């Protein structure tokens, strides 16, 4: 079986304690590689390499750093087939989607490469005579990056592009379920001309490898994407050291359809909103709010289209829905289907495992109607192909239901009334609002959560400030 060591100071290294664990293919349920099971000693080794790497990286001109990021983007495009295939092997997402996503990931590095030499301080008009006061933006140093299993390389790019452009080094701890694509990505940095040690990866479990990374005194910041529970643990540990964090956490996003919408477009938006990536996206439109006047015919069409989805091999071009990525997640999704039934919701599609699946964890695309917003199926993140349909009367009720949730990552609005679109985009408490579209993200646009969905923003111009600190310099003249 293939083995992957940690990637530290430009090379793969065995774990210091000599421990390994297996990673499995969610489609077959079979292990396919061994991954280093890191601990505090491996983290310390990686941070030491990153401290040295950061000094070399920050010594380059900003323009040289930017050019290296642009070369990296070109290399990602050249290796996108391979990286996408590895990611599918580990997380079971559709290859077609993953291949498109991996090519697009290059744009984050290209965009932040372009920004690297445009980080400018200011001259401050001082109230004091005889001083020259200016600001300079400086890197934080070594940033710890902790990523989840659903889109490892994309969610890493959102952090790493900005952090590197700002002059930082990184130690990455990918999810224990999907470490391989991040490890396969690592050699591209040397090819792009990055000094060794600028980007390092330590693999392993959250408590064993993630926690020591958060606690390491030379790690200046933690950028975390994952569950709200994991995020809270990281936030608590970082707080003890007054260490800044960015947290990209879960969601329970409302997708709101008004009677005046292009209903066919809204059906497709609702379906891709919840069933793409088998529902395992933080932005899943997992609460579908339907105006009562269109409720029944909309549900009928939804069931017709979603019911025709082909479930199967994520590598096959004709597959629409792949497996659930991890065994615990599979159990969790089935548990939530039971919870919804016990709460009195009506299952109108799916509602269980796929019979005769090839060994992996397959759940049928599932739709519940008759859901009240107070039910657990409406309030808690399932992170699977399970849609909760909630009816509403009018705009005011739609906004009230949409906002009555601890999360605030994203929201969708389907209407032809642009006044209403503007009113909702103002009143919905979510970091992203899509009108007559759903799931669009870009390197140009800030992304992040309101409320329990997180702290900070990734992508776009302002996200680079998450990885900089400002110094005020006073010179007596």
The set of catalytic residues is: 248
CB of 173 or CB of 243, closer to ligand NAD: 173
Q: Is 168 within 8 Å of 179 (Cβ atoms)?
A: no
C-alpha–C-alpha distance, residues 317 and 329, integer Å: 25
Out of 66, 139, 167, 230, the residue judged to bind ligand NAD by CB under 6 A: 230
C-alpha–C-alpha distance, residues 333 and 453, integer Å: 20
- 98 is a contact residue toward ligand NAD (CB under 6 A): no
CB of 207 or CB of 470, closer to ligand NAD: 207
- 176 is a contact residue toward ligand NAD (CB under 6 A): yes
Rg (CA), the chain: 23
Q: How far is the CB of 205 from ligand NAD (least distance, A)?
A: 6
| Contact window for ligand NAD (CB under 6 A) among 70-78, 121-129, 149-157, 366-374 | 149-157
- 157 is a contact residue toward ligand NAD (CB under 6 A): no
**Binding-residue pattern over the window 274 to 293 for ligand NAD, x denoting contact by CB under 6 A:** --------x-----------
- 211 is a contact residue toward ligand NAD (CB under 6 A): yes
**Binding-residue pattern over the window 49 to 78 for ligand NAD, x denoting contact by CB under 6 A:** ------------------------------
Q: How far is the CB of 211 from ligand NAD (least distance, A)?
A: 4
Residue 389's contacts (CB-CB under 8 Å, 6 or more residues apart) are: 288, 290, 295, 299, 302, 367, 368, 369, 370, 371
344-347 — which CB contacts under 8 Å span 24+ positions?
Answer: 344/370, 344/375, 345/369, 345/370, 345/371, 345/375, 345/377, 345/388, 346/370
Out of 87, 248, 313, 466, the residue judged to bind ligand NAD by CB under 6 A: 248
Out of 65, 233, 243, 287, the residue judged to bind ligand NAD by CB under 6 A: 233
Pairing assessment for the beta strands 199-201 and 169-173 based on DSSP bridges: parallel
The DSSP annotation for 149-212 comes to SSSHHHHHHHHHHHHHHTT-EEEEE--TTS-HHHHHHTHHHHHTTPPTTSEEE--S-IIIIIHH
Residue 197 backbone zone (phi > 0: left; psi -120 to 50: alpha; other: beta): left
Nearest partner of 249 among 272, 231, 269, 271, judged by Cα? 231
- 206 is a contact residue toward ligand NAD (CB under 6 A): yes
| Contact window for ligand NAD (CB under 6 A) among 4-12, 160-168, 171-179, 266-274 | 171-179
Chain positions 440 to 459 lying near ligand NAD, rule: CB under 6 A, are: 449, 454
- 210 is a contact residue toward ligand NAD (CB under 6 A): yes
Out of 89, 173, 287, 320, the residue judged to bind ligand NAD by CB under 6 A: 173
Place of tokens 């933690």: 222
Provide the binding-site residues for ligand NAD, judged by CB under 6 A: 146-150, 155, 173, 175-176, 205-207, 210-211, 214, 225-227, 230, 233-234, 248-251, 282, 381, 383, 409, 449, 454
């Amino acid at each position: 079986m293939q083995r992957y060591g940690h990637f530290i100071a430009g090379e793969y290294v065995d774990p210091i304690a000599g421990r390994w664990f297996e990673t499995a293919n969610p489609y077959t349920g079979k292990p396919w590689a061994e991954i280093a099971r890191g601990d505090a000693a491996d983290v310390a080794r990686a941070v030491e390499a990153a401290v040295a790497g950061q000094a070399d990286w920050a010594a380059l001109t900003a323009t040289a750093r930017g050019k290296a990021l642009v070369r990296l983007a070109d290399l990602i495009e050249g290796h996108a087939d391979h990286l996408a295939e590895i990611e599918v092997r580990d997380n079971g997402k559709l290859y077609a989607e993953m291949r498109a996503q991996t090519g697009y990931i290059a744009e984050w590095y290209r965009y932040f490469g372009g920004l690297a030499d445009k980080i400018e301080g200011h001259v401050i008009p001082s109230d004091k005579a005889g001083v020259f006061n200016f600001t300079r933006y400086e890197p934080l140093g070594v940033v710890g990056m902790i990523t989840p299993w659903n889109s490892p390389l994309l969610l890493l790019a959102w952090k790493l592009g900005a952090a590197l452009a700002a002059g930082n080094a990184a130690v990455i701890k990918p999810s224990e379920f999907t470490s391989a694509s991040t490890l396969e990505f690592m050699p591209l940095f040397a090819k792009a001309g990055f000094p060794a040690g600028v980007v390092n990866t330590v693999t392993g479990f959250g408590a064993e490898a993630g926690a020591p990374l958060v606690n390491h005194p030379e790690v200046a910041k933690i950028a975390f994407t994952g569950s709200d529970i994991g995020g809270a643990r990281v936030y608590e540990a970082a707080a003890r050291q007054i260490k800044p964090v960015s947290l990209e956490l879960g969601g329970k996003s409302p997708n709101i359809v008004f009677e005046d919408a292009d209903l066919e477009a809204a059906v497709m938006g609702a379906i891709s909103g919840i069933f793409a990536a088998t529902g395992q996206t933080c932005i899943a439109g997992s609460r579908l709010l339907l105006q009562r006047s269109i409720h029944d015919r909309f549900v009928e069409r939804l069931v017709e289209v979603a019911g025709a989805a082909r479930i199967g091999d994520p590598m096959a071009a004709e597959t629409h829905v792949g497996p659930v990525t991890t065994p615990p997640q599979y159990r969790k999704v089935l548990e939530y289907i039971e919870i919804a039934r016990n709460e009195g919701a009506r299952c109108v599609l799916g509602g269980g495992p796929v019979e005769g699946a090839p060994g992996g964890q397959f759940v049928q695309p599932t739709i519940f109607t008759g859901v009240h917003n107070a039910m657990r199926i409406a309030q808690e993140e399932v992170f699977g192909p399970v849609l909760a349909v909630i009816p509403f009367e009018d705009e005011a009720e739609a906004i009230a239901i949409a906002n009555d949730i601890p999360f605030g990552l994203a929201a969708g609005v389907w209407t032809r009334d642009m006044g209403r679109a503007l009113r909702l985009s103002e009143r919905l408490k979510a970091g992203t609002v899509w009108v007559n579209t759903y799931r669009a993200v870009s390197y140009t646009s800030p992304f992040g959560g309101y409320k329990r969905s997180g702290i900070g923003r990734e992508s776009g111009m302002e996200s680079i400030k998450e990885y900089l600190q400002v110094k005020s310099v006073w010179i007596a003249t």
